[in-house]
Amino acid sequence: MVNPDFLSDNAHGCSPEVAEALVLAGEGRMAPYGNDPITRRVRTRCCELFETEVEIFPVLTGTAGNALAIAAMTPPWGAVFCHEDAHIHREELGAPEFYTNGAKLMPIACTPGRPDGKLDRDSLAHALAGGKRTKQAIPACLSLTNATEAGTVYTLGELLALCDLARQHELGVHLDGARFANAIVTLGCTPADLTWRSGVDILTFGATKNGALGADLIVVFRRELAAELALRYHRGGQRLSKMRLLSAQLEAYLTDDLWLRNARHANAMARRLHAGVAELAGVEVVRPVEANIVFPRLPSSLAERLQKEGFAFYNWSIFGDDVYRLVCGFSTTEEDVDALLEAIRR
């Protein structure tokens, strides 16, 4: 039997508050297609949380959220700049290309000596200079992920520098926030600071990986983009008739700081794991641990033994043949972490 302890944040269930909200949401009749009171309350809550008027679109998957958000800012002949390890480029089987009707992703290679999964202003500037050859594609969008796929976090300063450059080149800015909560608790900043105040136009606000049972949310700060996005949302088969299935989860997620509490816990578990691993001679961790993921380099014999003992996790070969990804979630316990450390030590 698989025991997917460190496999993915997606392997965890949901917070009890989310389950409870689902039960309540199942009762009674409500107008369909988002005209229900729960969805309206989620929108209001988001306006408060982000300290500005926003439009929202609940989605079932981060892939749909990212692809719709990017399509809202990118014509078919547009270029989307992103890190070469971005989820939109590596893992979504061309969903952004599908939703944009064929735009071109422009993956930017890691700056040598900076293996933190982040773009910097120089590498973006270099890519944009190449982007001047407008017979290739018309630069349209910058897509960043925070926390990144490498488990690192863009600081406000880094984010601002990138968004500024994007703005100078008239790019829209999309933030893939599959682990937005993890970034917020690391930085201790406000959601407004980490998004529109820094220059983000649309956020894909993840909840699935952090305590929901399956719900993400597109948050549109540049509100003039919302009308067309609503059409793409419908046409993409993402517009839920019983919107409350998603909205109820999102409401619980944003109530009483559940989202922050969950992320804080997951990050703490990752730090505990990192600390334990760092003590072990011969185990290098190849990425800074700033969110809820740890990337150790392990002898393959050790990795195989751990997996045989029931610890589930992926080999992450794009970071090195012997690198593995250990993900902590909102329901990871200290006992889970200590059991893994114990097993490594054996």
Neighbours of 113 (CB within 10 A): 5
Q: Are 99 and 68 in contact (CB under 8 A)?
A: yes
Q: Which of residues 21-60 bind a copy of itself (CB under 8 A)?
A: 22-23, 25-33, 35, 59-60
Is residue 307 close enough to count as binding a copy of itself by CB under 8 A?
Answer: no
Q: Are 206 and 199 in contact (CB under 8 A)?
A: no
Residues 6+ apart with CB under 8 A from 282: none
Torsion of CA 25, 27, 30, 33, to 10 degrees: 40
Among 195, 198, 210, 238, binds a copy of itself (CB under 8 A): 238
- Rounded to a whole number of angstroms, the minimum distance from the CB of residue 165 to a copy of itself is 20
Nearest in space to 12 (alpha carbons), one of 309, 274, 214: 214
Is residue 219 close enough to count as binding a copy of itself by CB under 8 A?
Answer: no
- The edge-to-edge listing of strands for the beta sheet with 55-59 is 55-59, 216-220, 202-206, 172-177, 138-145, 78-83, 104-108
Rounded Cα distance between 130 and 136, Å, is 9
Is residue 186 close enough to count as binding a copy of itself by CB under 8 A?
Answer: no
Among 48, 122, 234, 310, binds a copy of itself (CB under 8 A): 234
Among 138, 189, 260, 285, binds a copy of itself (CB under 8 A): 138
The strand pair at 78-83 and 104-108 is best described as parallel
Q: Which of residues 244-283 bind a copy of itself (CB under 8 A)?
A: 244-246
Q: What are the phi and psi torsion angles at 42 (to 5°)?
A: -65, -40
CA 198 to chain centre: 17
Is residue 293 close enough to count as binding a copy of itself by CB under 8 A?
Answer: no
**Which one, 30 or 286, has the nearer CB to a copy of itself?**
30
Three-class DSSP category at 315 = strand
- Rounded to a whole number of angstroms, the minimum distance from the CB of residue 276 to a copy of itself is 20
Is residue 290 close enough to count as binding a copy of itself by CB under 8 A?
Answer: no
- In the block, tokens 């071109």 appear at 104
**Which one, 101 or 300, has the nearer CB to a copy of itself?**
101
Is residue 18 close enough to count as binding a copy of itself by CB under 8 A?
Answer: yes
Is residue 105 close enough to count as binding a copy of itself by CB under 8 A?
Answer: yes
Is residue 333 close enough to count as binding a copy of itself by CB under 8 A?
Answer: no
Among 51, 167, 236, 284, binds a copy of itself (CB under 8 A): 236
**Which one, 89 or 264, has the nearer CB to a copy of itself?**
89
- Rounded to a whole number of angstroms, the minimum distance from the CB of residue 257 to a copy of itself is 19
Is residue 153 close enough to count as binding a copy of itself by CB under 8 A?
Answer: no
Q: Are 185 and 260 in contact (CB under 8 A)?
A: yes
- Rounded to a whole number of angstroms, the minimum distance from the CB of residue 48 to a copy of itself is 24
Rounded Cα distance between 306 and 336, Å, is 13
The answer, yes or no, to whether the previous bond of 147 is cis (omega within 30 of 0) is yes
Q: Which of residues 61-80 bind a copy of itself (CB under 8 A)?
A: 61-65, 67-68, 75-77
- Rounded to a whole number of angstroms, the minimum distance from the CB of residue 111 to a copy of itself is 15
**Which one, 80 or 184, has the nearer CB to a copy of itself?**
80
Is residue 16 close enough to count as binding a copy of itself by CB under 8 A?
Answer: yes
Is residue 240 close enough to count as binding a copy of itself by CB under 8 A?
Answer: yes
- Rounded to a whole number of angstroms, the minimum distance from the CB of residue 78 to a copy of itself is 9
Among 41, 104, 222, 305, binds a copy of itself (CB under 8 A): 104
Buried b (16+ CB within 10 A) or exposed e, 63-89: bbbbbbbbbbbbeeebbbbbbebbbbb
